[in-house]
Structure 1
Amino acid sequence: MATEEQKQTYRDALADWQRKLDDVHALLLDGQRMPPDRIKGLLNREARAKAKYDSERRRLLGIPEEGDEAAGEADDD
């Protein structure tokens, strides 16, 4: 079972990603305008927030991170 700290970390990561995604939607769906360099930063922040959320979700579910040796899927070829 997940600890309260793990649950809160997951909730925080989800909320952060949702805020970043709302900003992307404002640009793409609502027609908000911004300079190209700000668009790049916006998309990078959303991607990092999504990666953090995915990592916390996997941790909460007990799924090893990709590339972890705990995954136990070494190639025998």
Structure 2
Amino acid sequence: MPSLVRRGDLLVTVSTGGRAPGLARKLRRFLEGLFGPEWAGRLDQVAAQRNEWRQAGNTLPEVARKTDEFVDQQGWLS
């Protein structure tokens, strides 16, 4: 059974295929610390930006690039 970290629509899972449930549980706890409740709002921000970029006529590769740049500018993963 996978270990889940849910923050709004953001879902991060860890599975060991049933081989090490204790490890999956420990990794889930670690990820819970990395992905706090604020990530639900961050996902909403990215989704809103994505909708704007798509409505402006950007292609999917352009949207992917802009998403990378947006996340980097926010410093969420640094």
TM-score (norm 1): 0.31
Considering fraction of residues, name the structure with more strand: 2
- What TM-score do you get using the length of structure 2 for normalisation? 0.30
Answer 1 or 2: higher relative contact order, Cα 8 Å, separation at least 6: 1
